[in-house]
Amino acid sequence: MKKKVVVALGHRALGATLPEQMTAVKKTAVSIADLVEEGYQVVITHSNAPQLGMIHTAMNEFGKTHEDYTPAPMSVCSAMTQGYIGYDLQNAIREELLNRGIFRTVSTVLTQVTVDPYDEAFYTPTKVLGRIMNAEDAAAERKKGNYVVEVPGQGYRRVVASPNPVDIVEIDAIRTLVNADQVVIACGGGGIPVLQQNNHLKGASAVIEKDLTAGKLAEQIDADELIILTSVEKVCINLAADNEEKLGQISVEEAKKYMDEGHFGAYNMLPKFQASVAFIENREGRSALITSFDKLKESLKGRTGTVIK
Ligand SMILES: Nc1ncnc2c1ncn2[C@@H]1O[C@H](COP(=O)(O)OP(=O)(O)O)[C@@H](O)[C@H]1O
Ligand SMILES: NC(=O)OP(=O)(O)O
The residue extents of the domains of the chain are 1-115+169-223, 226-309
Q: What is the pLDDT along the chain (309 residues), one digit of tens a residue?
A: 899 999 999 999 999 999 999 999 999 999 999 999 999 999 999 999 999 999 998 888 765 667 778 889 999 999 999 999 999 999 999 999 999 999 999 999 999 999 999 999 999 999 998 889 999 999 988 988 889 999 888 899 999 999 999 999 999 999 999 999 999 999 999 999 999 999 999 999 999 999 999 999 999 999 999 999 999 999 999 999 999 999 999 999 999 999 999 999 999 999 999 999 999 999 999 999 999 999 999 999 999 999 999
Q: Which residues line ligand 2 at a C-beta cut-off of 6 Å? A: 11, 47-49, 189-190, 207, 209-210
Same fold flag, 1-115+169-223 and 226-309: yes
Q: How far is the CA of 232 from the centre of ligand 1 (A)?
A: 7
Strand ranges, E, within the chain: 3-9, 40-46, 106-109, 112-114, 127-133, 147-151, 155-160, 167-168, 183-186, 192-197, 200-203, 225-230, 236-237, 245-246, 249-250, 287-292, 306-308
Ligand 2 pocket test: which of 46, 47, 160 has the largest number of ligand atoms within 8 Å of its C-beta?
Answer: 47
Q: How far is the CA of 217 from the centre of ligand 2 (A)?
A: 15
Ligand 2 pocket test: which of 80, 127, 211, 267 has the largest number of ligand atoms within 8 Å of its C-beta?
Answer: 127
Residue nearest to atom 25 of ligand 1 (CA): 231
Is the Cβ–Cβ distance between 130 and 50 less than 8 Å? yes
What pTM does this model have?
Answer: 0.96
Residue nearest to atom 8 of ligand 2 (CA): 49
For the domain spanning 1-115+169-223, the CATH number is 3.40.1160.10
For the domain spanning 226-309, the CATH number is 3.40.1160.10
Ligand nearest to the CA of 210: 2
Give the position, in ligand 2's atom list, of the atom nearest the Cα of 129: 8
Q: How far is the CA of 99 from the centre of ligand 2 (A)?
A: 30
